[in-house]
Structure 1
């Protein structure tokens, strides 16, 4: 976990984009939008398992990037440092939770980028259950390059972002499969 001083420093930092909370509705212009959705299961028990996977950072940890959060459970204003890569070459991508949804049939959160993140924008992760108890996982994001390195990476940066998103989906599916369920 992040130490208290690092967490306080990230909480004090402004978001690196103006459209905070925009993943709740129409995505802003000037960014590359991304939407992924997948039916992942059925029933209240399955919904609760997916909720646990999401709010306990399990999906993010299993997706590949190292995530160092300020709290073991997602909550508003939780901050995290996402590290992609290894050693001194790892990219550090600070984020802060923008909003949390936790109500019957809907659970999830969005985080936004902070200064130092290679991108500018926001990403949301939402589990929902309809009246027929079908459980769906939605990821919605908008982003644009936020650093010189990100701008110079061109399509490579976008490809990495898309691959990490696919890994979030794969991680959720793996975590919620009864025959392979593991906490951690």
Structure 2
């Protein structure tokens, strides 16, 4: 696959790299946290983790994804959202992946040209009782005129997309 570099969109457009890994999230941004159960057991966890790392969860929602490969730190990702003339491509970079046997997923940060500025993590966790949880954590603020114009609607859309990801990941994990 062609590397997604050299496009003029290679720099992160926010200073708080890696901040979705810790709490509290940085001030000055809208914060999002969504957590939902998606199944039970190691098999569901493994299937869900693979679907997240390979961007199949995002693609299942109808988003297009161009990536350097699976989610590893430094990987460039471009996600296409919307339809027709309203479709936008948002450039991101994978910032971190969890390093634990019962956690899988990644966090990506926005690069120059993204309509938002911030970071979002998509994590799957296998709890001690066997419940498999999907969690989205994000901090963001507008970086384009149309997201500033969207004002309070943007966080509502972000939460709706997080919920949609959870529903599709539940289906993908159950099918494995």
- Which TM-score applies when normalising by structure 1? 0.87
Structure 1 SS opposite 2:109: strand
Is 1:8 aligned to 2:2, yes or no? no
Instruction: Give every structure 1 segment of 4 or more consecutive aligned residues whose post-TM-superposition deviation is greater than 4 Å.
Output: none
2:62 is matched with which residue? 64
1:36 is matched with which residue? 34
RMSD: 1.8
Superposition deviation, residue 11 in structure 1: 9.4
Which runs of no fewer than 5 residues in structure 1 stay unpaired? Answer: none
Q: Following superposition of structure 1 onto structure 2, how do residues 86-105 of structure 1 map, counting pairs within 5 Å?
A: 86-105=83-102
CA distance in 2, matches of 1:10, 1:110: 21
Which runs of no fewer than 5 residues in structure 2 stay unpaired? Answer: none
Superposition deviation, residue 103 in structure 1: 2.7
- The total of aligned residue pairs comes to 175
CA distance in 2, matches of 1:141, 1:80: 17
Cα distance change, pair 104–11 in 1 and its aligned pair in 2 (3 A)? farther
Is 1:174 aligned to 2:154, yes or no? no
2:138 to 141, 150, 159: 141
Structure 2 SS opposite 1:18: coil
1:75 is matched with which residue? 72
Structure 2 SS opposite 1:131: coil
